[in-house]
């Protein structure tokens, strides 16, 4: 069995999760440069040094968790999954955001990474519910959450402002009880 990668929070068969650090800046920004066209309709990820630094600052808040989905074979960053607006108490809920780097899309890394995030969110963070809001035409993203056991709960017109436009979103969610192990 291979050694656990340094900083790994969860380890799967092909990927592991870890928190981003300042040392990831150049590799992360290079991945975002080659992924710009693929991600452009759906999200505007951090694409500058300042934006990456702001992302790291947000990730340190008690209400946020940022994860890099990294391949075990070479530790390359394959994607990002963020758990944000974490509420405890009676709500025990958070929002989920994610994106894959273009060279890694469609290879199953994000599916495995999402399963690891669900395990971490429910078992380690003690959350009860995660919600993902997805633009209706983003079929790959909808397939990802559906495979992970999320259910569609509704439609939110003009829900999020992305790339300067208010965009409609479908609301998908999963609870601890519904999680597929």
Give me the pLDDT at residue 100, please: 97
Give me the pLDDT at residue 180, please: 55
Cα gap 86→144, rounded to integer Å:
22
Cα gap 82→103, rounded to integer Å:
20
Give the pairing of strands 165-175 and 151-162.
Answer: antiparallel
Cα gap 9→74, rounded to integer Å:
17
The pLDDT of 152-172, averaged and rounded, is 94
The pLDDT of 106-126, averaged and rounded, is 97
- Tens-digit pLDDT profile for residues 38-50: 998 899 899 999 9
Q: What pTM did the predictor assign?
A: 0.94
- Tens-digit pLDDT profile for residues 82-98: 999 999 999 999 999 99
Q: How far is CA 146 from the centre of its chain?
A: 15
Contact between 68 and 19 (Cβ < 8 Å) = yes
């Amino acid at each position: 069995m291979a050694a656990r990668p340094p900083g790994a929070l969860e380890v799967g068969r092909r990927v592991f999760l870890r928190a981003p650090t300042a040392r990831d800046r150049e590799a992360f920004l290079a991945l975002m440069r080659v992924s710009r066209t693929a991600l452009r309709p759906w999200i505007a990820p951090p694409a500058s040094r300042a934006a990456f630094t702001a992302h790291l600052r947000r990730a340190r808040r008690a209400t946020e968790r940022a994860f890099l989905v990294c391949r075990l074979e070479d530790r390359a960053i394959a994607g990002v999954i963020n758990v944000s607006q974490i509420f405890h108490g009676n709500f025990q809920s958070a929002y989920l955001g994610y994106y894959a780097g273009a060279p890694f899309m469609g290879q199953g890394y994000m599916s495995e990474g999402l399963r690891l995030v669900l395990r971490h969110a429910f078992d380690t963070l003690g959350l009860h519910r995660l919600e993902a809001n997805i633009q209706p035409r983003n079929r790959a993203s909808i397939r990802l959450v559906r495979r992970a056991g999320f259910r569609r709960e509704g439609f939110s017109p003009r829900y999020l402002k992305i790339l300067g436009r208010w965009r409609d979103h479908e609301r998908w969610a999963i609870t601890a009880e519904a999680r597929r192990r």
